[in-house]
Amino acid sequence: MNLCIHNLKELYRKGSLTPEQLCQQLLKKCKEETSPVWIYLLSENELEPYLNRLKEFRPDELPLYGVPFAIKDNIDLALVPTTAGCPAYAYTPQKSAFVVQRLIDAGAIPLGKTNLDQFATGLVGVRSPYGAVNNSFVPEYVSGGSSSGSAVAVAKAMCSFSLGTDTAGSGRVPAAFNNIFGVKPTKGLLSNTGVVPACRSLDCVSIFAGTAEDGERVLSVAAANDEADPFSRKASKGCKPETLAQKFTYGVPQKRQLEFFGNKEYEQSFYASLELLDKLGGKRVEIDFSSFLDAAKLLYEGPWVEERTVAVGDFIKNHLDESDPVVAEIVAKAKSSSGAELFQAIYTLQAYKSKSDTVFESVDLIVTPTAGTCYTIEEVQADPIRLNSNLGYYTNYMNLLDYCSLAVPTAITSTVPFGITLVGRAFTDEMLLELGEKIHQLTGLPLGAGTEQPVFHQDKQKQTESDVVLVAVCGAHLQGLPLHHQLQALDATFIEKTTTSKSYMMFALETKPPKPGLIRNESKGRKQVVEVYSLSKENFGSFVSFIPHPLGIGKLELADGSWVSGFIAEPVVVEQGGDITSFGGWRNYLSSL
């Protein structure tokens, strides 16, 4: 089911779905999830008060009427234990965190609490006694952290949006690795009352969503001044999104300052993502990113490490056996700084801040990768601190320098998704969300890891009757793969990610770039993953001209019984290629190599 907020509200208006029915479906789905996404799921009885309250309203009377959401388990939900990823630390709050209560008041329904790197210390999602949360695309890879469960819950369509926290990148890295949006608001825009602190002066509540539109809706509800939180700041109307509608300037770090840790696919995906901004009217300029990188180093080398000891240091010292050993090691590294050392660090940071602010005088925003690479769970467990540090290369400076940012999904590689981060001055959150939505529409990516949440889900019968052609692609033209640019150049519109019927065999061809060939065989075939796009009839002809022998275009049967144009191969591929039918799709085959 498409869990986007506008879609749910439309279903509620029509009476074709009720919040009770939706919650029953989602609870069943959550309970069947094999990865340890959830620490605590509400029972039907516990959900009843939230659902009963909605009976007093019509769908249009509450901005988040009946919208299900998840909560990172370092954020309080009334009468539900908060563990911060450590059972021995658990307590049961009597009231919800300020931001959670605002969402509930707006009609949102909390489904439960999600897994995290213990005490929100990590960018990997493996530092939890509840288990490592698997990446939603390739289970062997990390999901990103520390808001691991919150990101995967959205990516796997278990909820419409979720809350995370972000001190050093925890609200952005998991978004990139799971093909969703990560909203890292201006510091203080969302209240931290009822949130277990990591570094209290830097912590931000963050938002995960499938679309920028949903992220903006949730942010508009959640943002409010909280007199109980001394770090709360009144919302300020930032740059109007119209200022970027036609022409804007964006900064990109100098090539020598970019780091992909040997990941060529991520490097290629980054430059392909920049072309999307250029297409939207962006003017690309190189900037000196050194002050941002220097500021990032202070997070784990300066007195801000000690701030974590203020939050949980004594507890960890007294409960070493119940603490994650990597988290305990990080917190234990903090040395007691003198007042002079603290002030010197503040002066140094302010110098970096001044230099970084100067960069923004010549650009509207900055664009970087969200992360330079991704690792397997096994790799991270073998080298936990160094690889975690690599993942924070583009994120650690953000809250120290008081900027807001938006993680935008832009590609799906042969392993895990890739995304960019839009960086703006404080209170330009709205501007970033508007631009992020435009970028996302150009990618044609599905939402999260599901097949039922396309960006542009349109009625296929209407498409067939109009002046367009539906085309199913199964190999190198898939999103993020080498030939996808051909579809982009022809203004193809993404319709959905789905599968063929059970009647197709797939063979790997030794071409450049490598491609698969589909052969219809009702006795030996199985479902194969495809992406469906619409092309104008004129551009469809151009697309067909690109296709080399022994591939061609014919009619392809989809899982729902409909027929569309799609890639088929001549029988010779049975002899020329290797049989990869059992993988069920080209991406699955590539990830096995």
Identified catalytic residue from 35, 136, 160, 170: 170
Q: Residues 13, 15, 16, 17: is their CA dihedral positive or negative?
A: positive
* Amino acid making up residue 456: F
One DSSP character per residue, 171-234 reads: TTHHHHHTTSEEEEPPTTSS--TTB--SSTTT-EEEEEESSHHHHHHHHHHH----TT-TT---
Phi, psi of 534 (to 5 degrees): -110, 140
Which residues contact residue 580 at a Cβ distance below 8 angstroms, ignoring those fewer than 6 apart?
A: 506, 507, 508, 516, 589
* Amino acid making up residue 102: R
524 is catalytic: no
Which residues contact residue 465 at a Cβ distance below 8 angstroms, ignoring those fewer than 6 apart?
A: none
Tokens found for residue 368 = 């970087």
Identified catalytic residue from 9, 72, 184, 353: 72
Tokens found for residue 14 = 């029509």
User: How many other CB atoms sit within 10 Å of the CB of residue 377?
Assistant: 19
462 is catalytic: no
The DSSP secondary-structure symbol of 444 reads T
Phi, psi of 516 (to 5 degrees): -100, 160
Query: Nearest 5 degrees, angle CA 573-CA 536-CA 282?
Result: 100
Please state at what angle helix 98-105 crosses helix 212-222, rounded to 10 degrees.
110
Look at residue 183 and give its three-state secondary structure. strand
| Residue in the block written with tokens 């960890």 | 316
72 is catalytic: yes
Quickly list H helices, 247-366.
Answer: 264-279, 290-301, 304-308, 314-318, 325-332, 339-359
Give the largest Cα separation in the chain, rounded. Answer: 77
Burial (CB count within 10 angstroms: exposed 0-12, middle 13-18, buried 19+), residue 359: middle
Query: What is the C-alpha radius of gyration for the chain, rounded to an integer number of angstroms?
Result: 24
Reference 97, options 76, 111, 68; nearest CA is: 76
Identified catalytic residue from 96, 128, 146, 147: 146
Q: How far does CA 282 lie from the centroid of its chain? A: 23
| Euclidean distance between the first and the last CA atom of the chain, given in angstroms as a whole number | 32
Q: Provide the total of helices (H) and of strands (E) in the chain, helices listed first.
A: 21, 19
Would you name the residues annotated as active-site residues? 72, 146, 170
